[in-house]
Amino acid sequence: MPPTVPVRTADGPLAGPVADAVRSLAERTQLVDGAAALSERTVLGLDAADRHHALAYASGRLVGYAQVWPEGASELVVLPTERRRGIGTSLWTASTDAGATSVWAHGAMPPAKAFAAAHGLVVVRKLHRMERAVRPAEAITDRLPEPYTVRRFVVGSDEDAWLDANSAAFAEHPEQGGMTKAELLAKEAAPWFDPAGLLLVETPELPGKIAAFHWTKRVGSEGEVHAVGIRPELQGRGLAGVLTRLGMGYLVATGVDRIVLWVDSGNERALRTYEREGFRVSATDVVYGAPG
Ligand SMILES: CC(C)(COP(=O)(O)OP(=O)(O)OC[C@H]1O[C@@H](n2cnc3c(N)ncnc32)[C@H](O)[C@@H]1OP(=O)(O)O)[C@@H](O)C(=O)NCCC(=O)NCCS
């Protein structure tokens, strides 16, 4: 399919007005599609040094955008009024030229499925969105067993220790485990960031280290189990349930009426932990990539 509109590529942080145009494109698209095509990682990535961008313009107006992440995953969106004109294809070609090997489809909607099939891409990963309502006056409390202790994150001093714990806990999950200091600092600057909602677990067994953590996120009345990580040497000791409840308890105490989270469909242990806490799958995001 020949390109129907020019596609420009760029590396590194986008200029302010261009980044604004991408955010506006994403917002207008979400109003029509009912699902966000670009994740927080991509939105924060507009200002990051390690991203490739492809931008499609029609009559001087941004009508499509793709971003390639350092490990080769990407996100791609075309304005609903401009679809089926080959713009998605042009953006995908530019993305693969910039190193993309896979693309996220949030909400796994029919156009994404058809687009992936047209490009010979298959589902290579599934991420479940799970959610759970908070009952009126519900309180969730729990305590870590001895000798573990919990405290809040301290901005400006816990970053390196947290990044070390995160990469150890998520060694098998490149997007989470590969988080850089720049990405962490960008999250700290986000309006939702709350250091008291990033719970850090310590143990005398691992002096100077963060043993485990539960990072919660709150946007409006919705809470999120943003990330629960336990160092590999401490996994299998029954900490996951308590740690999950500690973060949920924090979110409930701040007044959320719903808690959501995302988890890999193949992560049986995490799925079981969340099911036990009352979470149920409400939607599934998929990653499309080359077969095999
Ligand atoms: C998926 C998306 C990027 C496609 O963009 P697009 O500009 O419409 O894509 P193209 O015009 O290049 O489509 C290429 C081919 O994909 C297939 N396709 C795309 N959308 C389709 C749809 N709604 N129904 C059936 N086939 C479709 C067709 O085979 C099409 O070729 P054709 O129009 O000649 O039949 C766009 O629908 C979108 O932004 N969706 C929301 C974000 C998203 O889901 N991103 C993840 C992409 S995997």
In a domain, 111, yes or no: yes
State whether 106 and 200 are in the same domain.
Answer: no
Measured distance CA(140)–CA(88) in Å, rounded: 45
Please say if the pLDDT value at position 279 is more than 90: yes
State whether 281 and 180 are in the same domain.
Answer: yes
Q: Which of 84, 92, 122, 126 to mutate to test the pocket of ligand 1 (most atoms within 8 A of CB)?
A: 84
Q: What is the pLDDT of residue 269?
A: 87
Q: Token pair of 264, please?
A: 């890999």
- For residue 151, the one-letter residue type is R
In a domain, 228, yes or no: yes
Please say if the pLDDT value at position 3 is more than 60: no
For CA atoms 210, 213, 230, 37, give the dihedral sign: negative
272 sits in which H/E element: helix 268-276
- For residue 135, the one-letter residue type is R
State whether 152 and 217 are in the same domain.
Answer: yes
pLDDT band at 107, cuts 50/70/90? confident
Atom of ligand 1 nearest to the CA of 33: 41
In a domain, 285, yes or no: yes
| Structure confidence by residue, pLDDT tens digits, 24-51 | 999 999 999 998 999 999 999 999 999 9
Q: Is residue 66 lining ligand 1, measured as CB closer than 6 Å?
A: no
**69 contact partners, CB below 8 Å, separation of at least 6:** 41, 42, 45, 50, 51, 175
Using the 3D structure, point to which of 74, 95, 120 is the last residue of a domain. Answer: 120
Q: Quick one: average pLDDT of 184-203?
A: 97
Neighbours of 20 (CB within 10 A): 13
In a domain, 126, yes or no: no
In a domain, 2, yes or no: no
State whether 137 and 85 are in the same domain.
Answer: no
Considering only CA atoms, give the Rg of the chain.
Answer: 20
In a domain, 223, yes or no: yes
State whether 249 and 142 are in the same domain.
Answer: yes
State whether 223 and 110 are in the same domain.
Answer: no
Using the 3D structure, point to which of 120, 140, 159 is the last residue of a domain. Answer: 120
State whether 96 and 166 are in the same domain.
Answer: no
Total of domains in the chain: 2
Q: Is residue 287 lining ligand 1, measured as CB closer than 6 Å?
A: no
State whether 147 and 252 are in the same domain.
Answer: yes
Which residue lies with its CA nearest to atom 9 of ligand 1? Answer: 88
Mean pLDDT across the chain = 95
Spatial contact of 223 and 216, defined as CB atoms under 8 Å apart = yes
State whether 139 and 274 are in the same domain.
Answer: yes
Residue ranges of alpha helices (H) inside 132-266 are 159-169, 174-177, 181-188, 239-253
- Listing DSSP states for 71-125 in one string gives TSEEEEEE-GGG-SSSHHHHHHHHHHHTT--EEEETT--HHHHHHHHHTT-EEEE
Q: Is residue 37 lining ligand 1, measured as CB closer than 6 Å?
A: yes
Q: Token pair of 65, please?
A: 């955008």
In a domain, 88, yes or no: yes
Q: Quick one: average pLDDT of 46-70?
A: 96
pTM: 0.87
Q: Which of 4, 55, 115 to mutate to test the pocket of ligand 1 (most atoms within 8 A of CB)?
A: 115
pLDDT band at 199, cuts 50/70/90? very high
State whether 34 and 171 are in the same domain.
Answer: no
State whether 102 and 142 are in the same domain.
Answer: no
What CATH number has the domain bearing residue 26? 3.40.630.30
Q: Quick one: average pLDDT of 109-114?
A: 94
Task: Give distance in angstroms: CA of 40 to centre of ligand 1.
Answer: 22
State whether 140 and 282 are in the same domain.
Answer: yes
Q: What is the pLDDT of residue 174?
A: 75
- For residue 240, the one-letter residue type is A
Tell me which residue range forms the domain holding 68. 7-120
For strand 122-133 and strand 149-152, is the pairing parallel, antiparallel, or unpaired? unpaired
Which residue lies with its CA nearest to atom 46 of ligand 1? Answer: 105
In a domain, 125, yes or no: no
